[in-house]
Structure formats: structure tokens, C-alpha cells
Structure 1
Amino acid sequence: MKKTIYISILLTLGSWNFSFSQKTEVEKYYVRVDTSFVSELKLAYETSTEELIKTLKVKNDKREDLGFGYQLKQSGKGIGSMTINYQILYYKNEIVSYRLTTHIPDKSKRLKKLYKEKLSTLFKVNEDFKVEPIYFGIENANEPLSGIAKRKNNNLNEIMSPFSSIIFGTYCGESMTLMNNRKLFDKIIESDNCEYLLYSKNPATRLMSVEFYYCNLTEFSDVQKKSINTRIEELKRKPMLTRICSGCIINGNMTEKIITELKNCS
């Protein structure tokens, strides 16, 4: 009996050691492919936008229509334990801006330091291991569509950009969380900048501005109303599908229909 128990213990320990060894080898593999890809990506980034897009293996499909000739491609390339996410802004099929983001995998502090050291050759990484995004042509994403003069106000840049999320809504998801772009919008919106935001390249920002206008008509002068009403009619004449979130469902609806519904602000 004792002999049987002893053999059983040995088998269990052997199995545990084998499992631990396998896990360690997988971890080493992930670190190796992750760090190798960062080096490859850095070289591509320093070479050209074309080379970067090739390295990320960006497919020429599933672009989202933003209207006025602009499209947004959002996806990512997973490697080992890490993913490089990208948002690419196109104008008439030409890349005019992009945003790259990633984060350091939840690993031991030793491995986090290793990832930080490697990623720091391309990204800025702070002491808390948070990786800052990389931008190209960000002014092209922030500046308004033609028809209004550009404002020198950095507070408006983030919500003007399509990179802040192009989904229109307020609370979204199973936990009904306030959407990040709605948070950004609520912080800066006022009657003085509402018309300007109607010229954003971000369709969600344009719709939030329409909503604010219809829900706060008494805050606008007659001159503002005339100009804003003209702009809203222009938006209605651009047939495009806009993503909206209602509850935990994300679907699409035509811009004209959404604007018509927003006019009945309660």
C-alpha cells in the first residue's frame, strides 16, 4: 500500500514538473516572438507607412464609411501574448492618418520590464508600464471637414478625431457603461463649439452635436440656428450607415433617420 502511494506521488510530481516545463517553454516562445515582432515593426515604421502596413498585414477590407470620402479601418495583429492594434484613416483610398496602440501583457515584473525595454524602442512607456499610442498625421484626423475654419483649440482635437470611437450612443454594453466618446463630448460641448463639431470627420461626434443642438435650442442665437440648420440638412443629404449602440446591442442606422429621431428631443 505504501509503495503504491509512493509511486502515485512520484507520478504526480513528474506530471506537475512536465506541465510546468511546458508552460515555461510556451512563455519563452511568446516573449521571443513578441520582442522579435517589435523589432520588425520598428524597422517598418522607420522605413515607410507602406512598409508598416505590410508588416501589420492590414487587409484591404472592412473599412467603415465616415462620409465625405473618409473611411476608417480598425483591427489588430496578435503575436504571442501581445497585440498591436491599429486605426487607419483613409481619404479616397489614401492613408492620411493612423494610430497604433498596445499594452504590456499581465506577466511577472521581470517580464514586464523586458517588454517595456523592447517596446520603448518604438513607443513611450511610463513607469507603470502604460504604453502611449503612436500617431501619424494626427492633424489630418483632428481638423474639420471643409466648410468651416479650423480652430486652434486642443481641447476639441480628441473628440474631432475618428480615433475616439465612431459609435453613437450614451450607455453601452451589458454593464451599461457611459461610452468614452460621450464622456469626452460632454466635457467640452457648448453652444459656441457645437457648429464646429458638426464638421468633425467622426460621424458619432457629428450626431452628438446634432443631439445637443436639438436638446438645447434656447442656448443658440437666431444666427447660429440658421447656420447649424443648414449644416444639418447637408448631413441628412449624405446617405451613410452609422453605427449606434443601444443597450448592449450595436447596430447601424442611416444618418438621415437618426437625425430625424434626434429632432424630437425630450
Structure 2
Amino acid sequence: MRQIYRYIPVLVLALTIGITSCDETSGPAGILEERPSITDFQVTPSSVRFSEEDGFKDTLVTFRANAVSNIPEDFQLVAELADIRDRQILTSSTMTADPEGSGEYTASLNLTMSTSRFDNLVMYVYPRAPDGTVFDRVESTIKVRGIDTGRPEVLEIIHPDSVFIPPPGEPDNLFTISARVAHTFALENINRVQLDLFDSANTRIFTSNMSRSDPDGNGDPEYLLYGQDFSINSGNSPDSYRIEVHATDIAGTVSDTLSSTLIITR
């Protein structure tokens, strides 16, 4: 349960030694070898936009990666597609070299996406040596815009008007702040509901994503119920707290903020 509380320059001398004769020797092997790199990289399509004509469904999208690289014949060029938020790899492929030896490589990566998706993707391409060593990668962001999913609405904040501070030695006083949240399109489009708590000095002392629970006895609810548990003990001081709740949906649309007042008293 949570509780409410208020450079030194350095001179380097170079010594020149005159050499009258020497044998012709070679330097360390590979010292002048070129480091594997990617000189050109493109992704098609560079953006994805779904429309209402596509309908709300999962659909297969194919992304094509084209790159130019100087990697040796025994190296591979790898393409990976990831979610831009957490960089989790969603799919990957070893790129195919142009048989003419032009240095061009291609790959096709398939990804099943929801037409309501609004999270961007990122494509990585990098050289990989036979021993598994990975060299510098390049990347390209793919913008994704799904179908308009409406907007969330915070209908009501539910909590006791006041909570009493228990005497020393007495058990904590437990209570819950709940919020009824709806959506103009579909309840499953609600992504998160955030609760913020401010003291009488207008300082935010607590923030959290509320936990979800369905309303009892309603198989097809018009709203979802979210809650956050709190506890008050004898160490708390009387104060007035402003509760603020807002919701965000899967498209990133944020609801209006609903507020209420909670009194902590002895």
C-alpha cells in the first residue's frame, strides 16, 4: 500500500632518428583493410497509413530493405524490424547480395499489424562477421498511422470524502480511489489511466497508472473501472489533496482531466 507524504596541456617531444638502411618489411596484417560499413540504405514503404476502408483487423505488411555495403564475401548483412518504443525485434532477415557483385543487398520483411496501430517502427541493417561480430548499424524510422480510434473519457472519480488518521498503534486506514472510464469508439482502445495526487501546496506527491477491473454484473459494460489503493497511518498529517485522473488510448489520444478533492483529517 502507498502512503501519502508531504585538460592540462601536455608537451610531447618527438625524437627523429635517421636510418641509413633497412630491410623492406610489411606492417601488421590487415591494418589497411577497410572496415565493413553500409554506404546507402533505404526502406520501402517509409510510412504506413491505414484508412477506414481497411477496417479494424490485423493485416500483413511487407517492408523492403535496400542497402549498399563493402562487406567481405563471408560476411552477412542483417535487416531487423523493431518496435520504436522498446526496440524489441519483431522480425529479421539475412539480406541477399546482388549476384553481379555490385555491393547491393535486398531483403523483404513481413509483419502482421493491426490497422489501429499508431506505434512507429524502426528498421536496422548491420554487417555481421562469420564469428558473430556485429559492426556499426544504420537505421530508419517507419511512421505508422492507424485508423482513428475515437477518444477516452473519464466519467467519474470515486473515493471517500475524507479519511481519518488512526491513533498511534492502531491499524492503517485503507481506502481506494476509483475511476469510471469510457471510450467513444471501443473500451478496448483504452490504453492506460493515470492518477496524480497534489497536496495543498500544489505539489504532486504521487503518480501512478491505475489498475483495471470490470464493473460487476455487467457483461457488456459502457465503462471500465480503474482503481488505486492507499493507506493512511498515524504518521500522516491532516491535509487537503487534489486528485486528478486522465486516460490515454492506443492512438495516444488523451482525455480531459477530471479532478476531485480528498480530505485527510484526525
Bucket of the pairwise TM-score, normalised by the shorter protein: under 0.3
* Structure holding more strand per residue: 2
TM-score normalized with structure 2 length: 0.26
* Structure holding more helix per residue: 1
TM-score normalized with structure 1 length: 0.26
Larger Rg: 2
